[in-house]
Structure 1
Amino acid sequence: MIGDVFGWFTTAANWQGPDGIGAQLLAHIGYVLLALVIALVIAVPLGLYVGHTGRGSVVLVGAGNAIRALPTLGLVTFLFLLFTDSKLAAVIGLVVLAIPPILAGTYAGLLAAEHDVVDAAEGIGMTGWQQLWQVELPIALPLVLGGIRNAVMQLIATAAVAAYVGLGGLGRFLLDGLAILDYTEVVAGAILTALLAIVFDLVLAAVQRALVPKGVRLAAQATSGRAAAAGGVA
């Protein structure tokens, strides 16, 4: 199997044309980025509002858990039957998948902000918006970016469902390989998906390290260490 997979990757025909690795890889990344941008536009403002004001937190948590329980493949199939548009169905399904981790990370990040720091900001006369953008959000940034990384990993793994409704992406290798019992192609598609996830995670980790202030990063690590120590003692 290893030799067959290596041979599949080194076959020039598998890299060329609209059904080749390059084209399907770009299509897969396109679905992921489109769904991610839409999910960010929806989830980040909502998470900031609920985390800052405390309003609607119960509804937010309940709705997030309910959305997580939805099977993406079943949702995409239902949307395809409803709209008869493959791309619209796939993108909506992926957006629904990406919203909960981003929403949870944003909301949890604001909750993690020290109350003493927020009270001090209020005490020196900062407005609510100033507290949010200059105090709470910088402190929450590690968890916000962590939620985005989590969402991207889920999107890369799940964007393969686009092939189920006739679209491209790395899921084509999985679906087409299963259709003709070509397990070499199936394994190759799985490897490509895993490698894409690893590359994206490394890039996002570098972005997170560059964006999060060193002091906030060290404070977050200290908080995680204390939580782990407390868990060990318990």
Structure 2
Amino acid sequence: MTRIGIVGSEGRMGLALAEAVADAGLDLAGGVDQGGDCARLADSSDVLVDFSSPLALEGNLHAAVGAGIPILVGTTGLEERHHTAIDAAARVIPVLQTGNTALGVTLLAHLVKEAASRLGPEWDIEILEMHHRMKVDAPSGTALLLGQAAADGRGIDLASHSERGRDGQTGARKEGAIGFASLRGGTVAGEHSVILAGEHERLTLSHSAEDRMIFARGAVKAAQWLVDKTSGRYGMQDVLGL
């Protein structure tokens, strides 16, 4: 039976993960939160699932590498240095990093990439997301995941084509840009829409998260899938075979 260790066990996702592990009939190896001993947890686990914070990520990767076990990284708000650390760990162990573990979002990203690749740059792409009032990063990890899917579909670099936080006299929208807008309020688990706006027509691809458990169940499924994989960097699209 797969033993899953939860990093960030006292947070919203950590508690949902513990419930999802029990629902799947798997073994909860334990959990750690801020100040906990991740290395000890790794030694007693078959796979780690990390939904803690960017500040803890490098230490958590080190613990997984030290124990020789896979790790799923669902923490958002990552910077380039975090991705560099993930790449380094992935040369030794299997690492699955994603901005969203919901299976529906994984399929949505696939559809966004396909649409962006088939519709030319004259179709403007805007990504709108809304989350609960307590979320601390923006755009959301999921919005960035969808933006990356759109950029991949068009064969462009997301960072140099992003438009965020428009305010004041911004000038006309640049052709080929991928825009992001973030809303915060209430207890919204997650709402994402990708709008492709052309001349006199508009296509909207969207996903609504009605319960945090969809992320937890997707993470547990992905963690099980990751256990017997070779070293390397993976995404949720690999879990669904996309």
TM-score category (smaller protein): under 0.3
- Higher relative helix content: 1
**Structure in which a larger fraction of residues adopt strand:** 2
TM-score of the aligned structures, taking structure 1 as reference length: 0.26
Q: TM (normalized to structure 2)?
A: 0.25
